[in-house]
Structures are given as structure tokens and as C-alpha cells.
Amino acid sequence: MHQHHNGLKTAALFGVLWVVLLLIGALLANSLRSPSIIWVFMLIGLATTAYGYWNSDKIAIRSMQAYPVSEAEAPGLYRIVRELSMRANQPMPRLFVSPTQSPNAFATGRNPQNAAVCCTEGIMRILDERELRGVLGHELMHVYNRDILTSSVAAAVAGVITSAAQFMLFFGGGGNDRDRANPLALLVTSLLAPVAAMVIQMAISRTREYDADEDGSRLTDDPLALAAALRKLEMGIQRAPLPQDQRLVNTSHLMIANPFRGAGLSRMFSTHPPMADRIDRLEKMAGRPLGW
């Protein structure tokens, strides 16, 4: 795997996320005169993270109603994934297909030994083998880069911030006037902290997508294949988006493309970078030596 500036950006974003959490904790502890309250939210966040991390593959596969496929049923899929796994010197993941015509793919699992790769019937229908190889290279790099852990921790910290902010909004006025925090500061922080957490979580997800694009293209040695696939995916999803069922919304950040039709603010707050930007980066990569 290659190290690049996006790793530093992810670390910096996590730092800002923790600063927001500590600010919420300090205000809540000061308002309630009980520093221990923030630990309650931290324990809840830790339990949520552990459950999501250990069961990420089952949750995602179930949400997409995916079924396992054998090599006899999907020889092309097996051939591509086996070749890329061997090239990366990683174990072969389990392979699944989701019975939806919306074109997409995702990889999940807490480590390469427990990984699963899922393609929809729609993506296998519209992509040729070269383009599908580009997509699978991207998805495998999410597993090799431990992005499931990254996204799980980011989601947990953001969830703790949101829960603590809501608690502070309704119960943060305790104590006497001398001890109590400024009510306006409590109100502003309670409203803005969850928004800040969501934006930072979104930014972390986007940096991981850029990394998977870059590292996946190094693995396949073919960035233009992924660029061509992303163009087809954007058009295909606009024609056949997934329904905004909550289970699918919770899984959508794992997918190679935003599975929902959207514009304006919904795209602005998407966990996926703009397709045009991703394609432009990949086309610029094609002019440079890659290697693995």
C-alpha cells in the first residue's frame, strides 16, 4: 500500500472531530457539574462502534439482500478478484451479488481475512471486464486500507457528539446561575456541533474514496478503466437509483458511488466526492508512472 497526503488529511480531520467532542464534553460537564456524564456517551459510542465494526459485512450484505456466488456462477468475478488479491498478496474475499439493477459495488469486513465484496446485478450488466476490474481494485483497497475501521470510528464519534449535544440542549441548564454555562453558548454549540460532526465525517469519507481511487488504480495499473466505470455508474444510478430506505442509507457510504439520485444540497453533503473530480484525478494519474 502507498502512503500519501490523504492519510494526513484523515488524521487531521479526526483531530478536529475529537476537538468538537472535547468541547461538547467540557460544556456539558460545566453545565451539569458532573464530568462523568460524557463518559456515558463515550461508552455508548464504543459499544456502537464495536458492534458495527465486527458485523459490518453482515449488516451491509443483509441491507442489499445479497446472495453468495460460487466460481461456477460468476467465473469472471472470481477471476478478477483472485488476480487482484494475489497481486496485493492478500487472501481471497467472499463474493456476493445483490439482485438490484442499480449499478454499484462495495467491499466490507474488518480485515482482509474477513472481507466480502458485493456487486449488484446492475453493475455487472453495464460494465465490461476491464471497467469491472477497475471498480474491484477500488473496493479491495478499502479493505486493505482498513477503511471500515476508519468509517466506524468516525461514525461513532459523530454519533456521540450528536447525542451529547441533544442531551445538552434539553438538560444542560442545570446548576445555579453562577455555575451554569452561558445559555447562548450552550444553544449555539448544541445546534452547530452535530452539523460540524456530520461535515467532518463526510470529509473523512471523501478522503477515503480518493485514496481508494488512487490505490485501486495502482493495483490494477489502469486508472482510465476506473474513470470509464465511474462515468457509466453516474449515468446508470440516475436512471435506476436505490430507494432511500434507512438500511440502504446507512450502508451507502460503503458503495463506490452514491446510490441515490440527488442534486443541490443532497449532493453537497454526500459522503462521496463529485464524480467529475474523481474522474479528473484518475485521468491525470494515467499520465504518470504508477507501479505497485
| Active-site option among 139, 209, 234, 283 | 139
183-220 and 147-171 helices, crossing angle to 10°: 170
65-97 residues labelled b (16+ CB within 10 A) or e (exposed): ebeebeeeebeebbebbeebbeebebeebebbb
Q: Is 79 inside any structural domain? A: yes
Residue 33, phi-psi category: left (phi > 0), alpha (psi -120 to 50), beta (remainder): left
Any idea what DSSP says for residue 243?
P
Q: DSSP readout, 167-227?
A: HHHHHTT-S-TTTSPPHHHHHHHHHHHHHHHHHHHHHHHHHHHHHHHHHHHHHHT-HHHHH
Q: Is 180 inside any structural domain? A: yes
Beta strands 116-120 and 94-98 are parallel
Q: Give the pLDDT of residue 213.
A: 96
Q: Give the pLDDT of residue 110.
A: 82
CA quadruple 24, 26, 29, 31: dihedral sign: negative
Q: Give the pLDDT of residue 211.
A: 92
In which domain, by residue range, is 192 found? 5-285
Number of domains within the chain:
1
Which candidate, 169, 183, 155, 160, places its Cα nearest to that of 271? 155
Q: Is 290 inside any structural domain? A: no
Q: Is 291 inside any structural domain? A: no
Cα 5 to Cα 12, 171, 211, 222: the distances in Å are 11, 41, 9, 21
Q: Is 110 inside any structural domain? A: yes
Q: Is 170 inside any structural domain? A: yes
CB atoms within 10 A of CB 180: 16
Grid cell 472481507 in the structure block, residue: 115
| pTM score over 0.75 | yes
Residue 139 catalytic? Answer: yes
Which grid cell sits at 33? 457539574
Distance CA 173, CA 183 (A): 7
Q: Give the pLDDT of residue 265.
A: 47
Q: Report mean pLDDT in 10-residue bins for the chain, 292 residues.
A: 59 77 74 69 73 80 95 96 97 97 93 94 97 98 88 76 76 54 66 79 86 95 97 95 86 90 59 92 84 64
Residues of the chain by 3-state class (helix, strand, coil), percent to 5:
65, 5, 25
Contacts of 192 (CB under 8 A, 6+ apart): none
Which grid cell sits at 66? 445479497
Q: Is 270 inside any structural domain? A: yes
Distance CA 13, CA 151 (A): 12
The SS3 of residue 267 is helix
Any idea what DSSP says for residue 112?
G
